[in-house]
Structure formats: structure tokens, C-alpha cells
């Protein structure tokens, strides 16, 4: 097919904006041919661009030459159409399209480009193609309305972040991508230096040190929508490169930061078109969430767990083969009283796989609790029903450690196993009853994380958050004597079972920072070698400061009601960190390597 030049053609509208008020106007649309319906002497084309779809009609009686050309087009051809907007007769209105009350009667047709038949249909109705194909042909996948909508939402939210943070007095300040290895826990992506052979830049896992330096520099309130890089294994909610809303401020209390961030995410929920969440967000200590939910990022849409050891008489737990030395947790599985014996046993097996013991037996019928436990231990079950707040139609699961399990101090393992059963039951069964409504945004703060966690492999204490996190002022005297009991001024923002971000009040005194480094098993020499510049900076009048970083991709994902980060990132990588469109990463030429002073080790194939 011969193609037309663009010439002086100018688009007058996009394909989503014409309404019956435009009837009679002469318009020029440009876009992709979405689908066509050819009736012989009458042809309907749907023209698509970012704005939407508009139906264009070609009538042989009116313009035979233009009609004949339209019959030659196929999917994804890029065309320009000049025509007149016609109001459709009532029986011809298409209520599914925003532009369904009009159509454009074509008078001129310009074929700007042809197109190969795409490997999959560009729409949201056809069964979704394997993700591998979608990623290989990402430019086509991104044309789909759903992806267009997701990327548009991402833009809208990024804009809202900038407007809000600006209104709150924050400056957006950039920090380098090529920097030095940072103290965070993940592996770094490295960039070799040509000018300084044998040395490497590290891509930032976060701009942590730079934003603290900016506070020392007196910028007071900083934010940045910034790319971060971590070379770890990926998941549906983890990518090699991801975007954070990074925030730091001087002279804050923790509550100052909570307030700013609650205002921000509330605005984002609103921008995405949902009902605003309740404020202030509830606060739970780390100990609270671990005991009540068995996880540090609880989904509040599902009921909490209750500790019910006291509901049973002495000796009962032994008979039920539960350890009386460990917590016995009970939780209700809403509206799942009708689960089959097989389904309930599946939940019990799920607990067994996690070295826990579950009894999923109590069902609340119209007359009260049913099941063998309710018959054998009526008083205990009555108390459990009360403790869990179970209602008619619910199922109650009991989860604890099996009799004879070893007892450890500071150990949430029973809670964690029970929490996993709670979540599994909720996702597998309660979700059917609408309990995990994706438009119900239940934010919370998790506070008072332990400062340290014991690293069994290295036999030392590691910083749970990062080594710049300030301990509680009243726990300072335990830094050396009882590190496990020191609480950090750290906090996570959690939404519906997803960790949106974490932050802390930082250490602003050089003497405290040195103590923390020592408590982490770092000698003064090592600390000086790795963070000398930062320790120096701390000595020149560092204000108290603190901040947080939120995962922007995760926020967009939840607000777009997607379940994979890949659906809100234009060009994501696979689980093996490969970009299927560009095939990155690739080997490089010997010349490039020589310039960098790099030789590759021979990898041994087994």
C-alpha cells in the first residue's frame, strides 16, 4: 500500500473527546486502526489513540475512492481521517464508548503508516497473552487501554506527589546514581570506572546518606522521586530497579513525619478516585503486630488473632497436643463456616508444613459453636468465640506449637506460622466473600522495631533497619548490655499486607553514631574507612533529622488494582532481571572490557 505524507495535516481532537455537542464540526483525527467492521458498501473503523476510541464511517455512495482505500486497511495501521461529526440516531448509540453518541463520517483518509499483524490483539477483552510475549513486544502491550490507564495513573500520582510535597515546603533535590557502595543489606549493582581502573561506582540502593547530608547542609525538607537499585531476587512486588518517594526533614518528631506522609498517601488515594482512608492511621508496635497478626506487614482487612491459652483449663492443651509453653492463637475466618472437611484439613496441613499445629474445627452455626471441640470443651470454645469476636457463619482456627516444641526467648515463630495460616485462609476462602476488597485502603504504622536482629551465621548483631537509625533515647543504656531489647525510632507504613515504606529518626550525634557502629561489630577503623566523610559531616552541626521512603511502584500497583509491579512499570524486568525487549543484560566487546581494565573469569560448566 502506498503511504501518504503527513504534510500539513493537523489533528483537531484526540479519539476520546468528541461528544454530541461537536456534531456538525469538521474534524481531523489521527490514530491507530483498532478494529474494523466491513459491510461492503459501508465500513466502520474504530480509531484509537491515548484518549480512547472513535468510530469512523466510510460510505461508498458518498465517497467511493475514500471508501475503497479504507477497505484496504488492517489492524494497527496509522491513519489520519478528516470528516464531519455526526450525532448517532438513538438506536445506533454505543453506550460502551464515551464517544458512543457520535461518529465521524469520513471525507478524506490518509494512510500514515502500515503495520505488521501484531502477535496479539491490542485490547483488554481478548484473553491475556503470556507475559513473556507481552514483555518481548512491550511497545504493543503498552498500547492496551489497561496499560495506558496504569501509566497515566502513574503520571498523575507522581505529579500529585510533587504538588503536595511542594505545598508542604519540601524541595525536590537530585542525588547521584553513580556513587559509592552504601551500607544497606542488599547486593549492589556496580559500574566500572574507566578513568580509575579497578574501582567501581555502586548504583544507590537508596539515597540514604545523601539525604542525611542534605539535612546537614541545611535544606531542612527534602524529597525526591528517585530510582533505586538492588541486586537481589525478584518477586511480583520487587524489581531490580524501582522508584521511591524519598523524604527527609530536619527537627521532626516521629509524629511530624507520620502527619506529612499520611497527608500524602491520602491525597494519592483521592487522586486515584477512591474514598479517603480514615485518619490518623492506627499505630501498632512491632511486638503488637507480631502477636496479633504474626507478620510485620499485616492486612487489617482480615481479623486479628487472639492469644487463647487462658481459655483452656490446665491440662487441656496437653490433651489437644498443643504446647502449653507457647502461645495458642485463635482467629476467625469470616463467613467460612461451610468449609469442607478437606478444605479445613488443608489449612491444618499448611500449619504442619510450618512446624506448627492447627485445629480448624470450630464453626459458628445459628445455634452457636459446632464441631468436635465445641462438644468436648464447651466452656473453652465459648471463651474463644468471645476472644475472636466470631459471628454466625464464621470458622475459627486454633494454631499453636505442637506439644514438646522447644522454647526460645524473643521468639515469634508460633505467631508467624499462625499468621501465615490466617493469611492463607483469608486469601483462599474469605476473599470469595469480598473480604479483601481492593478499594478498602487500610493503612497502619508499625513502630518500635527492635534496633538489632541476631545474625546467626555471622554470630553478631545486625541493624534491623540501617545503622543510621536512632535508638529510643531511654534504651541507650542497653546498647552494649542488652542489644536485643533496644527499640529503634523506626517505623513502617503498611497498606493491606504490603510494606509501602519504612523510615526512622536518624542519629544526629557523632558520638552516638560511633557507638552504634561499634555495637554492630565494626571497628573505628572500618567505620572510618567506609563512612569517614559522613562521620566528619556529623561533626559540623548536624540537626536532629528523620525521614522515610515509600515504594512508589507499589503504591501505583495497589491504586491501579494490579497484582504485579510489572503492570505499572513501562519497561520492567523478568524474575531473572532480564529485559525481554532489549535482551539486556548482554555480553560486551573485548574492547570495552579492555578499556575498563576488566578481564572475565572463565565460568566453569559442570
Are 315 and 322 in contact by the 8 Å Cβ rule? The answer is no
- In which residue are the cell numbers 522447644 written? 406
Cell of 179: 556513587
Q: Which is nearer to RNA, 178 or 236 (CB)?
A: 236
Q: Which is nearer to RNA, 502 or 513 (CB)?
A: 502
Q: Which is nearer to RNA, 96 or 602 (CB)?
A: 96
Q: How far is the CB of 380 from RNA (least distance, A)?
A: 32
Query: Could you tell me the CA-to-CA distances from 475 to 488, 515, 548 in Å, in that order?
Result: 9, 13, 22
Q: Which is nearer to RNA, 224 or 388 (CB)?
A: 224
Q: Which is nearer to RNA, 45 or 269 (CB)?
A: 45
Q: Which residues contact 408 (CB under 8 A, 6 or more apart)?
A: none
Cα Rg of the chain, angstroms: 30
Query: Could you tell me the CA-to-CA distances from 520 to 240, 259, 395, 523, 547 in Å, in that order?
Result: 28, 32, 46, 9, 22
Q: 224: exposed, middle or buried (C-beta count within 10 Å: 0-12, 13-18, 19+)?
A: buried
**How far apart are alpha carbons 162 and 560 in whole angstroms?**
19
Q: Of 262, 152, 261, 243, which is closest to residue 204 (Cα–Cα)?
A: 243
Q: How far is the CB of 390 from RNA (least distance, A)?
A: 27
Q: How far is the CB of 298 from RNA (least distance, A)?
A: 14
Q: Of 447, 452, 489, which is closest to residue 472 (Cα–Cα)?
A: 489
Binding site for RNA (CB under 7 A): 35, 37-42, 44, 46, 55, 57, 59-61, 74-75, 88, 91-94, 96-97, 100, 103, 117, 119-121, 125-133, 135, 184-186, 205-206, 208, 230, 232-238, 464-466, 502, 549, 564, 566, 574-576, 578, 580
Q: How far is the CB of 6 from RNA (least distance, A)?
A: 24
Q: How far is the CB of 495 from RNA (least distance, A)?
A: 16
Query: Could you tell me the CA-to-CA distances from 263 to 165, 256, 282 in Å, in that order?
Result: 10, 11, 14
Q: Which is nearer to RNA, 128 or 152 (CB)?
A: 128
Cell of 349: 496441613
Q: Which residues contact 24 (CB under 8 A, 6 or more apart)?
A: 84, 85
Is-cis flag, bond preceding 280, omega within 30?
Answer: yes
Q: How far is the CB of 408 from RNA (least distance, A)?
A: 16
Cell of 579: 529485559
**How far apart are alpha carbons 501 and 161 in whole angstroms?**
15
Q: How far is the CB of 16 from RNA (least distance, A)?
A: 14
560-561-562-563 Cα dihedral, nearest 10 degrees: 140
Q: How far is the CB of 382 from RNA (least distance, A)?
A: 35
Q: Which is nearer to RNA, 406 or 584 (CB)?
A: 584
Q: How far is the CB of 238 from RNA (least distance, A)?
A: 5
Q: Which is nearer to RNA, 16 or 277 (CB)?
A: 16
Q: Which is nearer to RNA, 220 or 579 (CB)?
A: 579
Q: Which residues contact 486 (CB under 8 A, 6 or more apart)?
A: 450, 451, 452, 471, 472, 475, 478, 479
Q: How far is the CB of 108 from RNA (least distance, A)?
A: 18
Q: Which is nearer to RNA, 234 or 531 (CB)?
A: 234
Q: 593: exposed, middle or buried (C-beta count within 10 Å: 0-12, 13-18, 19+)?
A: middle
Helix (H, G, I), strand (E, B) or coil at 301: coil
Q: How far is the CB of 333 from RNA (least distance, A)?
A: 20
CA atoms within 13 A on the CB side of 136: 8
Cα dihedral sign, 471-475-477-479: negative
Q: Which is nearer to RNA, 8 or 89 (CB)?
A: 89
Q: Which is nearer to RNA, 103 or 361 (CB)?
A: 103
Cα dihedral sign, 233-237-243-244: negative
Q: How far is the CB of 369 from RNA (least distance, A)?
A: 32
Q: How far is the CB of 276 from RNA (least distance, A)?
A: 28
Q: Which is nearer to RNA, 191 or 236 (CB)?
A: 236
Are 317 and 309 in contact by the 8 Å Cβ rule? The answer is yes
Amino acid at each position: 500500500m502506498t503511504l501518504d505524507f503527513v504534510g500539513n495535516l493537523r489533528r483537531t481532537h484526540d479519539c476520546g473527546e468528541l461528544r454530541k455537542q461537536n456534531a456538525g464540526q469538521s474534524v481531523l483525527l489521527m490514530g491507530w486502526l483498532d478494529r474494523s467492521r466491513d459491510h461492503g458498501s459501508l465500513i466502520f473503523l474504530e480509531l484509537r489513540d491515548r484518549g480512547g476510541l472513535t468510530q469512523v464511517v466510510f460510505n461508498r455512495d458518498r465517497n467511493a475512492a475514500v471508501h475503497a482505500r479504507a477497505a484496504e486497511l488492517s489492524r494497527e495501521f496509522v491513519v489520519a481521517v478528516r470528516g464531519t461529526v455526526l450525532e448517532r440516531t438513538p438506536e445506533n448509540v454505543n453506550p460502551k464508548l464515551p464517544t458512543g453518541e457520535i461518529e465521524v463520517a469520513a471525507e478524506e483518509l490518509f494512510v500514515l503508516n502500515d503495520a505488521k499483524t501484531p502477535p496479539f490483539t491490542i485490547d483488554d477483552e481478548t484473553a491475556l497473552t503470556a507475559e513473556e510475549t507481552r514483555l518481548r513486544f512491550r511497545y504493543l502491550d503498552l498500547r492496551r487501554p489497561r496499560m495506558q490507564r496504569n501509566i497515566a495513573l502513574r503520571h498523575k500520582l507522581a505529579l500529585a506527589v510533587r504538588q503536595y510535597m511542594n505545598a508542604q515546603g519540601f524541595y525536590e533535590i537530585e542525588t547521584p546514581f553513580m556513587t559509592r557502595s552504601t551500607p544497606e543489606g542488599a547486593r549492589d549493582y556496580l559500574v566500572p570506572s574507566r578513568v580509575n581502573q579497578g574501582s567501581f561506582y555502586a548504583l544507590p540502593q537508596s539515597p540514604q546518606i545523601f539525604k542525611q547530608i542534605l539535612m546537614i547542609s541545611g535544606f531542612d525538607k527534602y524529597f525526591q522521586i528517585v530510582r533505586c537499585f538492588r541486586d537481589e531476587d525478584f518477586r511480583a512486588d520487587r524489581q531490580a530497579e524501582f522508584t521511591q518517594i524519598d523524604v527527609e526533614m530536619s527537627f521532626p518528631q516521629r509524629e511530624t513525619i507520620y502527619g506529612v506522609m499520611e497527608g500524602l498517601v491520602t491525597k494519592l488515594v483521592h487522586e486515584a478516585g477512591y474514598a479517603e482512608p480514615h485518619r490518623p492511621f492506627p499505630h501498632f508496635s512491632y511486638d503488637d503486630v507480631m502477636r496479633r497478626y504474626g507478620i510485620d506487614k499485616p492486612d487489617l482487612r482480615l481479623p486479628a488473632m487472639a492469644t487463647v491459652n487462658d481459655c483452656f483449663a490446665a491440662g487441656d492443651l496437653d490433651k489437644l497436643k498443643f504446647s502449653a509453653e507457647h502461645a495458642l492463637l485463635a482467629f476467625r475466618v469470616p463467613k467460612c463456616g461451610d468449609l469442607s472437611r478437606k478444605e479445613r484439613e488443608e489449612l491444618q496441613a499448611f500449619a504442619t508444613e510450618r512446624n506448627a499445629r492447627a485445629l480448624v474445627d470450630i464453626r459458628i452455626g445459628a445455634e452457636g459453636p459446632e464441631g468436635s471441640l465445641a462438644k468436648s470443651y464447651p466452656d473453652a470454645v465459648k471463651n474463644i468465640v468471645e476472644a475472636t469476636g466470631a459471628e454466625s457463619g464464621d470458622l475459627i482456627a486454633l494454631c499453636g506449637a505442637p506439644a514438646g516444641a522447644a522454647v526460645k526467648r524473643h521468639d515469634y515463630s508460633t505467631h508467624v506460622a499462625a499468621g501465615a495460616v490466617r493469611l492463607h485462609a483469608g486469601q483462599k476462602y474469605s476473599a470469595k466473600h469480598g473480604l479483601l476488597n481492593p478499594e478498602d485502603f487500610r493503612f497502619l504504622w508499625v513502630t518500635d522495631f527492635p534496633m538489632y536482629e541476631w545474625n546467626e551465621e555471622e554470630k553478631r548483631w545486625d541493624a534491623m533497619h540501617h545503622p543510621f537509625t536512632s535508638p529510643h533515647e531511654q534504651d541507650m543504656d542497653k546498647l552494649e548490655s542488652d542489644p536485643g531489647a533496644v527499640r529503634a525510632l523506626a517505623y513502617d507504613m503498611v497498606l493491606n499486607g504490603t510494606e509501602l515504606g519504612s523510615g526512622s529518626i536518624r542519629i544526629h550525634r557523632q558520638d552516638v553514631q560511633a557507638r552504634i557502629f561499634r555495637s554492630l561489630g565494626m571497628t573505628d577503623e572500618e567505620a572510618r574507612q567506609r563512612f569517614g566523610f559522613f562521620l566528619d559531616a556529623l561533626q559540623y552541626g548536624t540537626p536532629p533529622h528523620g525521614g522515610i521512603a515509600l515504594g512508589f511502584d507499589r503504591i501505583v500497583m495497589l491504586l491501579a488494582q494490579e497484582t504485579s509491579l510489572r503492570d505499572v512499570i513501562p519497561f520492567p524486568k523478568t524474575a531473572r532481571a532480564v529485559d525481554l525487549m532489549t535482551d539486556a543484560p548482554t555480553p560486551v566487546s573485548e574492547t570495552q572490557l579492555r578499556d575498563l581494565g576488566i578481564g572475565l573469569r572463565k565460568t566453569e560448566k559442570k
